[in-house]
Structure 1
Amino acid sequence: MLGIRKVIKAAVVGTCIGLASVNVVAKDNYILAGASPGGLWSLLGAGVDKAMRASYPNATVTYQTSGGGFANAVQVASKKVDFGIMHDAEAKIAAKGTDPYKAPVTNLRAMAVMYNFGAFQPMVTKDFADKYGISSYEDLKSKKPPVRLIINKRGLIAHNQALEVLAAYGITLSDIESWGGSVQFSGSKGIVELMKNRQGDLVMNNLFVGHSSIRDILNSMPMVMMPVSQAVRDKVSGVMGTGQMVIPGKAYDILSDDYPTLALTAMLVVNSDTSDDEVYKVTKALISNVGEIQGVHKAMRALNPAMMVKQNAIPFHPGAVKAYKEAGLM
């Protein structure tokens, strides 16, 4: 009888351990590197935290501010944080080891796409377009007007995308200055102020469709959306590893039809050394509780589990692959 009791006790203990392993993860607190406080990425951090706690009550995800995706690659690669948010183009640059990196960052793995709709939305003022007969980048190159260009800050991937689009049309920033124009660098909020103060003619930036900064500009002056040709979209996508999307014509009054453009994808990345089981559990929590992430901002309502696998800049972590295959997403 004593032997039987021991066997039963061992079986019960083993069962409890097995059940507990389903509802816990290895750590109580994960660190997620994002960008500046108060932006969308900080909201994503809160959503990831809620999604994790919905499956694993013992776990929390703490959002850590950082310099953005380029900086996050280093943070994740050196294991200073558990996860980081990066754009697909930033991850591809890190993997190649091109500027701002001195060598390839080879130990980054994708875990989950958070959005793939950071739309490239270049706009020129109608006054400038009418004065110089500019309705395309081809016009800009051939007519060489003294355009005052505003693009995002150096070190941000939206800056890189603007340069790549110009390069695909055979235009450099030096060219613009040689035409008597100028180039200014600013964040989204600064861009709005510059445009409101009539200090710019052409603005090139990546934002969500209907973003408040775009609305502010459109409410301040008549604008024209600059088309980006299919050939240029394909070329830039190939160089940067970014995607493409279509902005519905009904999104803005200045559009008469749907507007095809480039798009940046943001995703969670993890160190390749992180255990498969750990990444599997975290990824599964994100899939199961995607509603927690959707709820952080109206723009995130478009996120769904199928979108989480939509990137090819870097390989997915094997643990994430297991979770996606289990969910029928890969």
Structure 2
Amino acid sequence: MFGKGTKRWMVLMLAGACLLYGAVAGAEAAPQKLALASFKTGSGWYVMAQTMAKLMKGALPAGSQVDVLPYSGGVGNPMLLAQGKADMGLSFPIETGLALKGEAPYKQKIPNLKLLVGNLDTYWYVFAVRAETPIKSFKDIKAQKFPLRLAVLPKGSSGEWDTRKMLAAYGITFEDIVSWGGKVNYVSFPTAVEMMKDGQADAFGQLCTPGHPSWTQLATMTKLRFLPVDKAVGDKFAKEYGFSMSYLPKGSFRGVEANVPVLGFATCLITTSKMPVDVAYKITKAICSNKQELVTAYKGAKAFDPKKAAQAALPLHPGAEKYYREAGIIK
């Protein structure tokens, strides 16, 4: 039916197809060496990242390696991805959104950032003052031109950015505070806690999670007043930066005798468009299918709902999107 030349051609084509299939299959099964950026050793993010790395290694091809980097936080991790120093990173939707747009604290756009898993936990931005101050609201600070001794994390950190933007929403700048006789202290989290405890600072604005040990310690040893965020300000932050109105629940810390309106947000796991689709798919599935392991290691993940993992107002990685569609999480 076929001549010798035709048969030879068909054999060569079949052999070529087999080689191509083998090469593709081999590439898909190749071990992965990935770096996951988190935060300092011992932090909640570092603990969660270690657990994620374990889940990822179990889902990726045999021999794969996932190294957890003990740096550099919500603002810094998108930069590490842009520089190729990490393949994935924990961050917040707010900071990731600013990085995508190239807005401060980012000097240029990082356009290829993609979401893998969102809404991993519960975070609040809180602003607390020592209870003996006459400050009961953000508006009081400006109305009284109070010489506030403010403790805030170093410039470029999430806490510093949030505090600066929050005060600005009430018409207050760091320069105003200094001009009123106050002072802005850029310090580490532990130092800020000590300054509040020792009376060297009147106020501290920073991120907080349920049962946060440092905030628990501070509230236990120092009478605090957590300032409420007005709805109009909360709506502004939701529209412009992706926060949501939340509340610090009654009894969260000593002195919280009623629910306090605050800004809420959650951790997300991001990557770049360079990550292969099959790798992103496996990583997303591994995390969303193993919530209990995350919770066992990191109590903050108790709020994680895999059905809401794609809801972070960020562009999804195609591999993550594939998983969410298969799982019926998005349509």
- Taking structure 2 as the reference length, the TM-score comes to 0.86
Pair 46,325 (structure 1): closer, same or farther in 2 beyond 3 Å: same
Specify the alignment match of 1:46 in structure 2: 50
Contact 1:92–1:240 (8 Å) recurs in 2: yes
Contact 2:220–2:254 (8 Å) recurs in 1: no
Task: Give the deviation of 1:114 after TM superposition.
Answer: 5.4
Contact 1:116–1:263 (8 Å) recurs in 2: no
SS of 2:68 mapped into structure 1: strand
- Taking structure 1 as the reference length, the TM-score comes to 0.86
Pair 26,109 (structure 1): closer, same or farther in 2 beyond 3 Å: farther
Specify the alignment match of 1:4 in structure 2: none
Pair 25,285 (structure 1): closer, same or farther in 2 beyond 3 Å: farther
Specify the alignment match of 1:146 in structure 2: 147
Q: How far apart, CA to CA, are the structure 1 residues paired with 2:39 and 2:106?
A: 18
Q: How far apart, CA to CA, are the structure 1 residues paired with 2:208 and 2:29?
A: 35
Larger mean Cα displacement after TM superposition, 85-94 or 296-305? 296-305
Q: How far apart, CA to CA, are the structure 1 residues paired with 2:61 and 2:31?
A: 11
Match of 1:27 among 28, 31, 35: 31
Specify the alignment match of 2:318 in structure 1: 318
Q: How far apart, CA to CA, are the structure 1 residues paired with 2:152 and 2:87?
A: 32
Pair 170,257 (structure 1): closer, same or farther in 2 beyond 3 Å: same
Pair 37,272 (structure 1): closer, same or farther in 2 beyond 3 Å: same
1:104 aligns with 2:109: yes
SS of 1:282 mapped into structure 2: helix
Specify the alignment match of 1:5 in structure 2: none
- Supply the RMSD in Å over aligned alpha carbons: 2.4
Larger mean Cα displacement after TM superposition, 40-49 or 103-112? 40-49
The one-letter code of the counterpart of 1:157 is: S
Task: Give the deviation of 1:237 after TM superposition.
Answer: 2.7
Question: Identity rate of aligned residues, in percent?
Answer: 30
Match of 2:90 among 85, 90, 104: 85
Q: Which runs of 5+ in 1 are unaligned?
A: 1-9
Contact 1:206–1:263 (8 Å) recurs in 2: no
Task: Give the deviation of 1:327 after TM superposition.
Answer: 1.4
Q: How far apart, CA to CA, are the structure 2 residues paired with 1:228 and 1:319?
A: 38
Q: How far apart, CA to CA, are the structure 2 residues paired with 1:275 and 1:93?
A: 24
Q: Which runs of 5+ in 2 are unaligned?
A: 1-13
Q: How far apart, CA to CA, are the structure 1 residues paired with 2:165 and 2:121?
A: 19
- 1:55-204 equivalent positions in 2, closer than 5 A: 55-56=59-60, 58=62, 59-113=64-118, 115-129=120-134, 134-204=135-205
Q: How far apart, CA to CA, are the structure 2 residues paired with 1:302 and 1:116?
A: 5
Larger mean Cα displacement after TM superposition, 225-234 or 252-261? 252-261
Contact 2:88–2:271 (8 Å) recurs in 1: yes
Q: How many residues align?
A: 309
Task: Give the deviation of 1:57 after TM superposition.
Answer: 6.7
Contact 1:125–1:202 (8 Å) recurs in 2: yes
SS of 1:246 mapped into structure 2: strand
Larger mean Cα displacement after TM superposition, 176-185 or 58-67? 58-67
Task: Give the deviation of 1:268 after TM superposition.
Answer: 1.2
Pair 157,323 (structure 1): closer, same or farther in 2 beyond 3 Å: same
Pair 176,76 (structure 1): closer, same or farther in 2 beyond 3 Å: same
The one-letter code of the counterpart of 1:89 is: I
Specify the alignment match of 1:263 in structure 2: 264
Q: How far apart, CA to CA, are the structure 1 residues paired with 2:309 and 2:139?
A: 36
Q: How far apart, CA to CA, are the structure 2 residues paired with 1:280 and 1:76?
A: 19
Task: Give the deviation of 1:320 after TM superposition.
Answer: 0.5
Q: How far apart, CA to CA, are the structure 1 residues paired with 2:311 and 2:245?
A: 12
Pair 25,138 (structure 1): closer, same or farther in 2 beyond 3 Å: farther
Larger mean Cα displacement after TM superposition, 97-106 or 176-185? 97-106
Q: How far apart, CA to CA, are the structure 2 residues paired with 1:68 and 1:25?
A: 31
The one-letter code of the counterpart of 2:253 is: Y
Q: How far apart, CA to CA, are the structure 2 residues paired with 1:172 and 1:93?
A: 20
